[in-house]
Structure 1
Amino acid sequence: MTRDRVTEIVERLVLPIVEREAVELVDIEYTKEGKNWYLRVYIDKPGGVDIDDCSRVSEQLSEELDRVDPIPNAYFLEVSSPGAERPLKRPADFERAVGRYVHVSLYEPLMGAKTHEGTLVSYDGERLILEIKRRSKTVTLAVPMEKIAHARLALEW
């Protein structure tokens, strides 16, 4: 079974759980590290999630995964917060990030670079407008969504 198929199935199983627990599903990863497989589910809520939130979602999801058994090999299930540098994937993620400092990786260079960090000024569904610092001045950069490989919140130093 492909990784995408596993994450699709897990998403269908976890959505009713996160809704019941009043948390948001941020991301799902199914990845191999060394010889082990990991199924990681990232959740969040305003003010952040705590260990009890993660535990409740993990227990319920584990029961559903045992019942449906969609993953043929052994794996470790981890449910946690996405952390301070949470990924931005869905339109709602970008909308919520307006005004925040972000890191964007691109498929091809813009302004001579494939990565940019700056304040997300706006998002209209088709492009991001970033304010980035270049030497001693601030520059505005329009980034088409189709050029974005990965985006996440970033810590500003």
Structure 2
Amino acid sequence: MRIRPKGVGFTPRLICWMGTGRHNTKEGTMTSTTIDRVRALVEPVVSDLGLEIYDLEQRGGTLRVMIDTPPGSESGVSLDTIAVVTRLVSRELDHEDPIPGKYTLEVTSPGVERALRTPHHFTREVGKRITVRLADPSVEQRRVEGLLSSSDGSVIVLDTDAGPLTIDISAIDKAKTIFEWGPAPKPGGPRNKKPRQTGTSTTDLASSKDSGTDAEEQP
């Protein structure tokens, strides 16, 4: 099954942020050219720290720079790192002044359940479980959930309980990853078992050695 757009495009929406840094500078809406200029300034800063730009947008008077660790990393972005990026990006923006008007800089990380609003986001999160809300309110099942098995930049494939589902990215209104907790350890499992007792402990070996030495010293 494939879901195509029905007169509604992809609506960009962010869901959650963590670790915010703010800096007041000189309100307007960024054009694509301005976004490219800001990205060109920010990208080297985050790249030098081993990070990536996950998202970049301006809403009202807020310029939001969302950073993340590369795909497959074992850890996320710390608050200390966000503070460092905020300071460095703020300095670059003050020096180059790429945005006319007054705005607030906000540096964040996407968190464990992150919004998917660009084709790159879907490609980046292949292999994770996601939930999708379709833009067309007339469809029978507007919200679907499944494992994101593939994405080619224009369509995604979800492995759902009902089988594979192909969806045009332009038909999606809202999507995000789902954080899954690992299974709890079973009672009596390996973590709860006491270590097996060996025949001789280290102390026992030392005692035996001492006893043997004493016996040899006796006439």
Query: Which bin holds the TM-score, normalised by the shorter protein?
Result: 0.7 to 0.9
Aligned counterpart, 2:130: 102
Aligned counterpart, 1:41: 65
Aligned counterpart, 2:156: 128
Aligned counterpart, 2:166: 142
Aligned counterpart, 1:85: 113
Q: Mark the CA change 1:95 to 1:71 in structure 2 (over 3 Å): closer, same or farther.
A: closer
Shift of 1:109: 5.7
Structure 2 matches for 1:4-83, cutoff 5 A? 4-5=31-32, 6-32=34-60, 37-45=61-69, 46=73, 47-83=75-111
- SS in structure 1 at match of 2:81: helix
- SS in structure 1 at match of 2:76: coil
Shift of 1:25: 0.6
The answer to whether the 8 Å contact 2:54/2:68 transfers is yes
> More deviation in 146-155 or 68-77?
146-155
What is the RMSD computed on CA atoms of the aligned residues? 2.5
The TM-score with structure 1 as length reference comes to 0.78
The answer to whether the 8 Å contact 2:134/2:142 transfers is yes
Aligned counterpart, 1:3: 30
Q: Which amino acid aligns with 2:29?
A: T
- SS in structure 2 at match of 1:99: coil
Rounded to whole Å, the distance in 2 between the matches of 1:132 and 1:4 is: 38
Unmatched 5+ residue regions in structure 1? Answer: none
Rounded to whole Å, the distance in 2 between the matches of 1:146 and 1:152 is: 15
The answer to whether the 8 Å contact 2:30/2:99 transfers is no
1:153 aligns with 2:181: no
Identity of aligned residues (%): 37
The structure with more strand, counted as a fraction of residues: 1
- SS in structure 2 at match of 1:70: coil
Q: Which has the higher contact order (CA 8 A, sep 6+)?
A: 2
Shift of 1:102: 1.0
Q: Which amino acid aligns with 1:21?
A: L
Query: Based on CA coordinates, which of the two structures has the bigger radius of gyration?
Result: 2
Aligned counterpart, 2:186: none
Unmatched 5+ residue regions in structure 2? Answer: 1-27, 182-219
Rounded to whole Å, the distance in 2 between the matches of 1:11 and 1:31 is: 16
- SS in structure 2 at match of 1:83: coil
